[in-house]
Structure 1
Amino acid sequence: MDCGYCTDSQLALHCTFSFRAVRADRGGAGRGKKRRAVRSGMEDLQMSRYSSGINGGEAAVADELNSEIKIEVLFKPEECTQKSKRGDLMNVHYDGFLAKDGSQFYCSRSDKAGHPQWFVLGIGQVIKGLDIGMTDMCPGEKRKITVPSALAFGEKGKGPVPPNATVIFEVEVYAVSRGPRSMEAFTEMDLDKDKSLTKAEVKEYLKQDYEKRGKKHDEPFYQKIMDDIFRKSDHDRDGLISAKEYNIYQHDEL
C-alpha cells in the first residue's frame, strides 16, 4: 500500500499493552472499584468513548449510521486463516483521508517508528466506524472503509480532521489473533493453576506464541515485553498478575 509521504520502515511485531485504571464510585463504604480500559499506540485516532445509550428509536438511528459505512475490499487472500471478530487482537497499517478533498491526515507508516499498529477490535480503542468496518477481515486483506462523521470524529473533529467530516481509511491487516486478555489465554499461561501469573509464566507464553508464528527472538526481546506488561498490569505491585488485574473486559461498552 502506497502511503504518500510516509517513510519506509521494517515491519516489526512488537506487541505491548497499555492499560488505564478507571475509578468508579459505587456508594456503600465509598471504596472505588477499578475497571480496566485499554489504550493503544493508535491514540491519534481515538475519539471520546462512543457512549450513546442505544434503546428504542436510538437503535434505529444506530442501524442507519452503521449502514452508511461503505466497505470496499481491495485485496483478499484466497485462504483465510482467521476472520477478525470483536475482542480479537489485530495488527494493521492504515492511512486516513478526508473524503471531501482526498487529503491525507494520518499514516501509520510514519508514526510509531513505522510499525504496524496493534489494537483490540470492538472495545473502543479506535473510532466506532473502524471497529465496525474491520470486522470479518482476514490476515493479508486490504479494505477501503468510508466512515460518516457520527462514527468517526463527530461534531468537534480532532486534530487535522475538521468537524462533521466523513473520513476514508485504507487498511491492511497483517495479523489477527485471539485477544490478549481472554480468560482462555490466562488459563494457558497459568501453568501452576493458582489463578495468578508469574513473570516466568508470561515470558514462556510469549516465547511459545512467537515461535508458533515463526517469529523467534532473543531473550531481551521477551524480557522487554514482559516487563512492560507487568508495569502496566500489576497494579498492586506484588510481582503477580491476578485474574482480576488481567481481565480488561470489564468495560462499559461490552
Structure 2
Amino acid sequence: MQSGMMWKLASCTLCLFVSSQITLWSVSAAADDSDGEVKIEVLFKPEQCDPKSKRGDLINAHYDGYLAKGGTQFYCSRSDKDGHPQWFVLGVGQIIKGLDIGMTDMCVGEKRKITVPPSLAFGEKGKDPVPPNATVIFQVEVYSVTRGPRSMEAFGEMDRDKDKSLTKDEVKEYLKLQYEKGGKPNDDPFYEKIMADIFQKNDNDKDGLISANEYNIYQHDEL
C-alpha cells in the first residue's frame, strides 16, 4: 500500500462509482485464503460507548473502500446516494462478511479502519472495479446503532396496535423515538427516507404493511 495514502472521513476525493450498492455485495469465502482474518484498527472511540453494535442491529454509517494494493479508492458513501450515510442491518449479509465482522461492537461516533481479506470481501472473482483476490480496506464511522428492526423485540415495540403488522406511521414513530432517546432528533424528511427504505426492502407483497413473517428474516433465530 502506498505510504502517501490518506485516510479521510471528512470527504471523498477519488471515488470510482460501482455498478451496484456495496451494501448488496456478498461473495462466498475462498477456501484457499491463507490470511482469512479481519484486521481492525480503532481510530477513535468516544468515552461514552453504549450501546455497542451486534448482529441484527440497524446501523447508520459512512464507509469508504480502498484497495490494499496501491490504495485506490473504489467506493465512497459520501458521494453515493446524495452523500447520505448508509442504512443496513448488521450480520445478515447486506454488507460483505468482513464488514459484518469488523463493525461488530462499534458505538455511535466510533471510527475504524478495517482490513478485509479476499475470502471475506469479493473473493476469487472480484466485483468491478475490485479485482479478483483483492484485500480491501474500509474506513468507517458509525452515526447510529439501534436495536435491529429485525429483532422481534423491536417489532413488538413498533406494533403499537398489536395487530401483528407494521404501518409506515408505526415504523416512523419508532425511529423518531430512538433518535430522540439518543439526543439526536432529526426533521421529518429524514425519518421518511429511512422508513421508505425499510418498506422497500421488507414489504414483499407491497400491501403497505410489514407482517411479522416479512420482518423477521431470522425466522426462529433468537437475537
TM-score range, shorter chain: 0.7 to 0.9
Is residue 78 from structure 1 mapped to residue 47 from structure 2 by the alignment? Answer: yes
- Report SS of the residue matched to 2:105: coil
Q: 1:210 to 1:75 in 2, by over 3 A?
A: closer
- What are the equivalent positions in structure 2 for 1:227-246 lying under 5 Å apart? 229-230=198-199, 232-246=201-215
Does the aligned pair in 2 maintain the 1:146–1:168 contact within 8 Å?
A: yes
C-alpha distance 143-226 of structure 1, shift in aligned 2 (>3 A):
closer
1:215 aligns with 2:223: no
Q: Decide which structure has the larger Cα Rg and report it.
A: 1
Q: Which residue of 1 aligns with 2:68?
A: 99
Alignment check: 8 A CA contact 1:65 1:151 kept: no
- Find the counterpart in structure 1 of residue 13 from structure 2: 5
Query: Does residue 1:190 correspond to 2:159, yes or no?
Result: yes
Instruction: Find the counterpart in structure 2 of residue 44 from structure 1.
Output: 22
Name the count of aligned residue pairs: 209
Could you tell me whether the CA contact under 8 Å between 1:95 and 1:170 is conserved in 2?
yes
Task: Find the partner of 1:142 among 97, 100, 111.
Answer: 111
CA 1:208–1:126: 2 relative to 1, 3 Å: same
Q: List aligned pairs for 1:22-171, cutoff 5 A.
A: 43-50=21-28, 66=36, 68-171=37-140
* 1:196-253 alpha-carbon deviations (Å, 9 max, x no partner): 23444334334433433441424x665565555445544445554321222222499x
Residues of 1 paired with 2:78 and 2:12: CA distance?
Answer: 10
TM-score, reference length from structure 2:
0.79
Deviation string for 1:170-205 (max 9, x for gaps)?
A: 111111111112111111122232322344433433
CA distance in 2 between partners of 1:113 and 1:227 (Å): 16
Once residues 193 and 208 of structure 1 are traced to their aligned partners in structure 2, the CA distance between those partners, rounded to angstroms, is 18
Structure 1, unpaired ranges of 5+: 8-41, 53-57
Q: Give the TM-score taking structure 1 as reference length.
A: 0.70
Contact 2:63 2:140 in 1 (8 A): yes
Q: Which runs of 4+ in 1 moved over 6 A?
A: none
Q: CA RMSD in A?
A: 3.1
Q: Is the 8 A contact 1:49 1:124 kept in 2?
A: no
Q: Displacement of 1:159 after TM fit?
A: 1.1
Matched-pair identity in %: 72
Q: Structure 1 144/198 Cα, relative in aligned 2: closer, same or farther at 3 Å?
A: closer
Q: Distance in 1 between matches of 2:104 and 2:48?
A: 17
Shift of 1:97: 0.9
Q: What is the DSSP-based 3-state SS (H/G/I as helix, E as strand, rest coil) of the residue aligned with 1:140?
A: coil
Q: Distance in 2 between matches of 1:50 and 1:244?
A: 27
Change (3 A) 1:158 1:120: same
Offset at 1:152? 0.7
Paired AA for residue 43 in structure 1: Q
